[in-house]
């Protein structure tokens, strides 16, 4: 548990507390000959948990990159807590595990400390308070015992939890996670969801890209169905209707009526998955 | 025992040997420390290319000043920085991959350098010095310059340690933390350029990449954290410099080549024998099973 304390985030732009944590309006990203994102608009409120779903090439990663500030949109804008994202360090990005160099010579504590360097600032070294904070954050995700492990020695679930701890250390208010549950067993997935509930209590907004429609509908407040265009955003039972799913996935989806509602069988394949 | 001491002390009677050893040690430390980032970021080819690409600058400096060290140095540094930015610009603008851009520019610059030097009278000797180094020709002034600039490179690495670490491990985190990534990328290129020019006299352009990459790669096999990797790399770099010069003295081979061969020897030993990844231990474990 992190004791409640004054946030130490230095914000170059003050937060407008009434504004949604994230406003995306008319966002368009145009590549050479196709639009990866086409006029996408939606808002996120503090503390909610939203799943971004859609087929491969639907623009999920592009959307995340624009929100994180890694990529400039062709048109439209992203506002974080009422301000442009450029001045904020309150967005954390949890990378896909396949994008990380796990043989890099850093320990778990080193990686979590990286989240602190925005607060530490240029020319200065992390102090005792930063180290304490790192251990608290590792405690929240149950990774305190692994602080001195080289990151390549972790299991898949532990690797994800380490990056969530880094987001906590960063004092992020919006956490973007790209396919965090890919390749994790059920127990490890449950651990992650347990930690996501913990984040919700801290009013941290979590945005997860996933291929798993059933999980999206069971475990998230809202879902966002993307296929270049925004096909729908809202409660899962409102968005996951046959017409919209058909439009997003075409023939790659089988829908089965069951007692519990609509069951979706997807045969779209995921990055590096089976 | 006394025989061994004599073997160690005998070369040190020559002032040029002492200066050479000091230069080789400093170059070993600076190259290896910066080299950790070259290895971790996969920039070995870029480092090799930058080293070769300074040849025309070095040649112009040599020709306009009749061989004055400082002119060679500044012309080389200017060329290295320009090439670093040029490679960045070409690979960003033109639609070719970065390694293609590097290959094209580096071969062209290297050819230009050889062409320029071949216009001078003592072609073969001069070219050999630039290509393979001449650490025994280091003057006291060169030593001070090496110490000052090498120290500057080390201090910069230390000052921006955490920024370079984040940038190398996770560029997306660097972006979300709003670090000036492009600035740090070019700063790293300038540091590599400086290091190459400082090391020119010790190992020459052709073998430079070995000083940048081999000690750091050796340390990478042994270390679990970046500070340890840097310290080990620096130690291996310095040891190789000294041991290489002894090898050169007693066996009678070119000094730059001797230093690099010692580096390579360290690397092969660690590759075969390191406790975790050592090839020999892996074989042994397989035999036991």
For chain A, the three-class secondary structure string (H helix, E strand, C coil) is CCCCCCCCCCCCCCCCCCCCCEEEEEEEEECCCCEEEEEEEEEECCCCEEEEECCCCCCHHHHHHHHHCCCCCCEEEEEECCECHHHCCCEEEECCHHHCCCCCCCEHHHHHHHCCHHHHCCCCCCCHHHHHHHHHHHHHCCCHHHCCCEHHHCCHHHHHHHHHHHHHHCCCCEEEEECCCCCCCHHHHHHHHHHHHHHHHCCCEEEEECCCHHHHHHHCCEEEEEECEEEEEECHHHHCCHHHHHHHHHHHEEEEEECCEEEEEECCCCCCCC
Q: Containing domain of residue A176, as a range?
A: 22-266
> Does residue A8 lie within any of the structural domains?
no
Whole-number Å distance between alpha carbons of A100 and B169: 8
pLDDT of residue A207: 95
Q: A211-240, pLDDT tens digit by residue?
A: 888 888 888 999 999 988 888 899 988 888
Answer yes or no: is the ipTM higher than 0.90: no
Gap between the Cα atoms of B18 and A162, Å rounded: 50
pLDDT greater than 70 at residue A91: yes
pLDDT at B1: 62
At B228-283, the pLDDT tens digits run: 999 999 999 999 999 999 999 999 998 999 999 999 999 999 999 887 667 777 78
What average pLDDT does range A23-38 have in this prediction? 86
Share of chain B above pLDDT 90, in %: 53
Q: Write the pLDDT tens digit of every residue in A125-136.
A: 898 999 999 999
What is the average per-residue pLDDT within A55-61?
Answer: 86
Residue B92 has a pLDDT of: 72
Would you say residue A123 lies in a domain?
A: yes
Q: Is the pLDDT of residue A2 over 50?
A: no
Spatial neighbors of A212 by CB under 8 A, at least 6 apart, are A181, A266
Nearest to A110 among B163, B175, B225 (CB): B225
Residue A14 lies in a domain: no
CB–CB of A112/A52 below 8 Å?
no
The 10s digit of each residue's pLDDT in B71-92 is 888 899 999 999 888 877 777 7
Q: What is the mean pLDDT of chain A?
A: 83
Percent of residues, chain A, with pLDDT higher than 90? 36
What is the C-alpha separation between A176 and A106, in angstroms, rounded?
Answer: 23
Assign residue B249 the CATH number of its domain: 1.10.3470.10
Indicate the number of domains in chain A: 1
Distance CA B28, CA B20 (A): 12
The pLDDT assigned to A259 comes to 60
Question: Has residue A7 got a pLDDT over 50?
Answer: no
pLDDT at A8: 47
> CB of A174 within 8 A of CB of A203?
no
Cβ-based interface (< 8 Å): residues of B facing A: 40, 159, 162-163, 165-166, 168-170, 172-173, 175-179, 220, 223-226, 228-229
- The rounded distance, in Å, linking the Cα atoms of A224 and A232 is 6
Residue A23 CA to its chain's centroid (Å)? 16
The answer to whether residue A240 is domain-embedded is yes
User: In this structure, is residue A16 part of a structural domain?
Assistant: no
**Residue A31's pLDDT band (boundaries 50, 70, 90)?**
confident
Strand partners, A256: A263
Mean pLDDT computed over A97-119:
93
- Report pLDDT digits (tens) over B151-183: 999 999 999 999 999 999 999 999 888 889 889
d(CA B251, CA B266): 18
B-chain residue closest to A114, CA distance: B166
Residue A239: predicted pLDDT: 87
Query: Which one, of B76, B52, B72, B73, lies nearest residue B61 by Cα?
Result: B72
Closest-CA distance, A214 to chain B, in angstroms, reads 29
Query: Cβ B165–A106 below 8 Å, yes or no?
Result: yes
Confidence check: pLDDT of A270 > 80: no
Task: Confirm whether A158 is domain-assigned.
Answer: yes
- A122 neighbourhood in chain B, CB within 8 Å: 163
Residue B148 has pLDDT above 80, yes or no: yes
| Per-residue pLDDT at A86 | 62
DSSP B281: H
pLDDT (0 to 100) of residue A122: 83
Range with lowest mean pLDDT among A112-116, A162-166, B81-85: B81-85
- Mean of pLDDT over chain B: 89
Task: Look at residue A218 in the predicted model and tell me its pLDDT.
Answer: 87
How far is B140 from A24, CA to CA, in rounded Å?
Answer: 63
The total of structural domains in chain B comes to: 1
Question: The pTM is what?
Answer: 0.87
For B253: left if phi > 0, alpha if psi spans -120 to 50, otherwise beta; the answer is beta
Total beta-carbon pairs less than 8 A apart between chain A and chain B: 70
Tokens of B12: 């040190």
d(CA A265, CA A60): 20
Radius of gyration (Cα) for chain A, nearest Å?
A: 19
Q: Has residue B116 got a pLDDT over 70?
A: yes
Taking only the tens place, the pLDDT of each residue in B195-229 is 999 998 888 888 899 999 999 999 999 999 999 99
Most B CBs within 10 A among A98, A105, A175, hence the mutation to make, goes to: A105
Please state the rounded mean pLDDT for residues B110-133.
81
pLDDT, residue B63, reads 85
Instruction: Give the per-residue pLDDT at B84.
Output: 84
d(Cα B87, Cα B93) in Å, to the nearest integer? 10
Chain A environment of B179 (Cβ under 8 Å): 117
**CA–CA separation, B136 and B241 (whole Å):** 12
Handedness of CA A237, A238, A243, A249 (dihedral sign): negative
C-beta separation of A226 from A64 below 8 A: no
Q: Give the whole-number percent of chain A exceeding pLDDT 70.
A: 82
Four-CA torsion B280, B281, B285, B287, nearest 10 degrees: 20
- Testing the interface with A: which of B156, B165, B172, B227 to mutate, by most A Cβ within 10 A? B172
Q: Hey, what are B227's tokens?
A: 């500070």
CATH of the domain at A38: 3.40.50.300
Q: Compute the radius of gyration of chain B from its Cα atoms.
A: 20
B159 vs B153: CA distance, rounded Å = 10
Residue A274 within any structural domain of the chain? no
Host domain of residue B189:
2-288
Question: Which residues fall within 8 angstroms of residue A97, CB to CB, at 6 or more apart?
Answer: A156, A159, A160, A182, A183
């Amino acid at each position: 548990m992190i004791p409640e304390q004054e946030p130490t985030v230095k914000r170059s732009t003050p937060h407008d507390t009434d504004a949604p944590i994230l406003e995306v309006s008319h966002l368009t990203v145009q590549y050479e000959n196709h639009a990866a994102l086409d006029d996408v608009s939606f808002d996120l409120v503090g503390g909610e948990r939203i799943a971004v779903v859609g087929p491969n090439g639907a623009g999920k990663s592009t959307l995340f990159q624009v929100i994180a500030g890694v990529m400039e949109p062709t048109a439209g804008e992203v506002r974080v807590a009422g301000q442009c994202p450029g001045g904020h360090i309150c967005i954390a990005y949890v990378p896909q595990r396949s994008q990380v160099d796990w043989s890099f010579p850093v320990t778990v504590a080193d990686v979590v400390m990286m989240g602190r360097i925005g607060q530490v600032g240029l020319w200065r070294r992390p102090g005792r308070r930063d180290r304490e904070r790192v251990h608290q954050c590792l405690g929240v995700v149950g990774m305190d015992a692994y602080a001195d492990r080289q990151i390549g020695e972790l299991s898949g679930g532990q690797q994800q939890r380490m990056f969530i701890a880094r987001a906590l250390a960063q004092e992020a208010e919006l956490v973007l996670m790209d396919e965090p549950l890919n390749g994790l067993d059920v127990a490890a997935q449950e651990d992650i969801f347990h930690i996501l509930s913990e984040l919700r209590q801290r009013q941290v907004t979590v945005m997860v890209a996933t291929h798993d429609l059933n999980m999206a509908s069971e475990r998230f407040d809202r879902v966002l169905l993307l296929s270049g265009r925004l096909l729908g955003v809202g409660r899962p039972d409102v968005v996951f209707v046959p017409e919209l799913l058909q439009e997003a996935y075409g023939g790659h989806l089988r829908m089965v009526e069951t007692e519990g509602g609509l069951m979706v069988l997807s045969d779209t394949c995921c990055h590096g998955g089976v | 025992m006394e025989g061994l001491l004599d073997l160690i002390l005998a070369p040190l009677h020559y002032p040029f040997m002492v200066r050479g050893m000091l230069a080789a040690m400093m170059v070993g430390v600076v190259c290896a420390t910066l080299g950790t980032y070259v290895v971790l970021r996969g920039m070995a080819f870029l480092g090799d290319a930058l080293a070769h690409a300074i040849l025309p600058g070095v040649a112009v400096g040599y020709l306009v000043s009749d061989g004055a060290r400082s002119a060679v140095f500044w012309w080389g540094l200017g060329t290295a920085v320009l090439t670093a930015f040029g490679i960045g610009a070409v690979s960003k603008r033109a639609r070719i991959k970065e390694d293609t851009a590097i290959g094209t520019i580096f071969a062209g610059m290297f050819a230009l350098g050889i062409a320029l030097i071949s216009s001078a009278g003592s072609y073969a000797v001069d070219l050999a010095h630039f290509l393979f180094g001449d650490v025994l020709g280091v003057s006291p002034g060169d030593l001070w310059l090496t110490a000052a600039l090498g120290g500057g490179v080390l201090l910069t690495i230390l000052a921006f340690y955490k920024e370079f670490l984040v940038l190398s491990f996770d560029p997306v985190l660097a972006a979300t933390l709003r670090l000036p990534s492009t600035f740090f990328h070019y700063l790293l290129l300038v540091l590599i350029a400086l290091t190459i020019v400082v090391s020119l006299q010790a190992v020459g352009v052709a073998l430079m990449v070995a000083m940048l990459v081999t000690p750091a790669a050796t340390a990478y096999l042994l270390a679990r954290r970046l500070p340890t990797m840097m310290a080990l790399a620096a130690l291996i770099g310095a040891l190789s410099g000294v041991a290489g010069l002894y090898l050169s003295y007693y066996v009678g081979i070119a000094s730059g080549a001797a230093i690099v061969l010692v580096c390579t020897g360290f690397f092969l030993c660690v590759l075969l024998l390191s406790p975790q990844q050592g090839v020999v231990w892996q074989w042994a474990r397989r035999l036991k099973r």
